[in-house]
Amino acid sequence: MLACTLFAFNIRDPHNPDSLHVNLMNFTMILWMTAWLVDIAFRKRPVSFHRPDPISASLYLAVLLACWMFASFFWTENLDDYLSVLSIRLPLLILPLLALFGMPKEFRFRRALFAFAVGVIFYSIALLFFSWDALPYNEKDPSEHFVWYYNQLQHRTHFGVCQIFALSILAYLRPQIRNRLHSRGRFRLFFIFSWLVVMASLYFSEGRMMLAVALLISLSFLLRFLWLHNWRRLTFAILPLCVIFSILLFANHPRLQLRHFSEREIQAFEPRYDQWRCAVFCIQDESHNLLLGEGIGDATDVYNHMRHDKTRSHLFHPISDPYESAHNQFLQGQLEYGLIGSVLFLALLVSFLFSARESHARFFVFQVAFVWFALALIEQLFSKSQPVDLFCYSLLFCYWVKLAGAEKQQQLH
């Protein structure tokens, strides 16, 4: 619970990367995995793996994907980068592997999920009340206020994912929260308030992709609510209104005020355009191993070499920032671990969709898989960030698989 709550307050101070809360999260992460391993070692019932089935297939695929990443050691030359990336991505291997042995009931995962969701909502509210004196702008514009503070995070897109997950978690834990509040009306007010907070912060932080994803997830909440209450005819009236609202929202979005969408203007407006192009050049290069990739240690070197290639400098915008990754998990994955790893990653996303048994869990899992897929289009999921980020993502992934396939069971199998 402590790790999940602290992750919601994950502000990165560039001048103090070893801040107290980051170290505390890393310590909690190691403590959690150690406790899980001790539970497996001293469990009374015999520990054994079961044959892969729709419930556990996602966990097996996650383990295979992590193993394939680490296997790139055999065709990697930059071992320093390899070991650096390996140390950060270890939770991608360890947590799914532990989940295959079973999810300890004593860990109280539901409370951890609730702590994570409430922490995200609370922090989104707190952004409005941080010291305005620290804002490096003369005019106290709410939009600039949000953008500046979100830039202190690892990335506003990643925090936007956490905000969307928080809403999904609250919706999934609806029966338990509603029983605690002793009222359906109170829960609905709480959920609507949380939704307004998330949507406002996503808009003012000038996020685009996560705002679009949040709108689609919100529409799924609304349609499911109408479907379960037999108000299906209202969908014909609500859907056009939602489309009009979304168009108006994006038409007035601060980062979409472009008059002419020429290629040069898009390059200056969106650095990802150049990053995607550079990654495609790397993959198309004759020296690239399409099947195995460059290895997780050499991918950055290959990318930087292509980005600074003088023969292609005219294809990139001169003011485009020289990033070191594709900013797209599908392209970055193909560059790092080749076609085999890319197929494993796609199979992981697809298998996740088929792991649910109950309709309530299936709805929840579909939202999670959709958010991850959308994030993979614009970000690198397995980046060189703090290990605790991947720990939280991996933990939520393992628990969602457990929720989807074994809701009424104490253990996964």
pLDDT tens-digit profile of 369-409?
Answer: 888 888 888 888 776 555 555 656 666 666 666 665 444 44
Q: What is the DSSP letter of 403?
A: H
In a domain, 214, yes or no: yes
pLDDT digits (tens, 9 = 90+) for 58-79: 888 888 999 999 999 899 989 9
Largest CA distance in the chain: 68
- What is the pLDDT, as a whole number, of residue 150? 58
Closest C-alpha among 397, 389, 409, 393 to residue 364: 397
Q: Under a CB-based contact definition with an 8 Å cutoff, are residues 10 and 153 in contact?
A: yes
Contact indicator for 359, 409 with CB cutoff of 8 Å: no
Has residue 130 been placed in a domain?
A: yes
Question: Is 394 within a domain?
Answer: yes
Amino acid at 331: L
For residue 205, give the nearest of 270, 129, 127 by alpha carbon: 127
In a domain, 101, yes or no: yes
From CA 273, how far away is CA 276, in angstroms rounded?
5
* Exposure string over 82-103, b if 16+ CB within 10 A, otherwise e: beebbebbbbbbbbbbbbbbbb
Asked if the structure places residue 128 within a domain, the reply is yes
Rounded to whole angstroms, how far apart are CA atoms 23 and 292? 35
Q: Residue 376 is inside which H or E element, if any?
A: helix 359-378
Specify the number of domains making up the chain: 1
CB contact at 8 A, 307 and 276: no
Contact yes or no for 355/365 (Cβ under 8 A): yes
What local confidence, expressed as pLDDT, does residue 195 receive? 92
Is there a domain that residue 126 lies in?
Answer: yes
Neighbours of 320 (CB within 10 A): 18
Nearest CA among 66, 10, 2, 62 for reference residue 35: 2
Q: Does residue 308 fall inside a structural domain?
A: no
Rounded CA-CA distance 32/5 in Å is: 14
Is residue 349 one of the residues assigned to a domain? yes
356 Cβ neighbours under 8 A, 6+ residues apart: 362, 364, 365, 366, 404, 405
Which range marks the domain in which residue 165 is found?
2-28+57-253+324-405
Dihedral, 24, 30, 32, 36 alpha carbons, nearest 10: -170
Query: Which has the closest alpha carbon to 62: 90, 83, 40?
Result: 90
How far apart are the C-alpha atoms of 268 and 317, rounded to whole Å?
7
- What's the rounded Cα separation, in Å, for the pair 304 and 97? 34
The reported pLDDT for the residue numbered 410 is 39
The pLDDT of 112-123, averaged and rounded, is 81
Reported residue count of the chain is 413
176 within 8 A of 113, measured Cβ to Cβ: no
The whole-angstrom separation of Cα 316 and Cα 378 is 18
Residues 29-40, mean pLDDT to the nearest whole number: 81
The confidence band for 413, taking pLDDT boundaries of 50, 70 and 90, is very low
Dist CA 66 CA 103 (whole Å): 20
Confidence (pLDDT) at 227: 80
Q: pTM score, two decimals?
A: 0.82
With 70 as the cut, is the pLDDT of residue 221 above it? yes
Indicate the residue type of 29: M
Answer for the pair 314, 335: CB distance below 8 angstroms, yes or no.
no
Q: Is pLDDT above 60 for 132?
A: no
Q: For residue 406, give the 3-state DSSP assignment.
A: coil
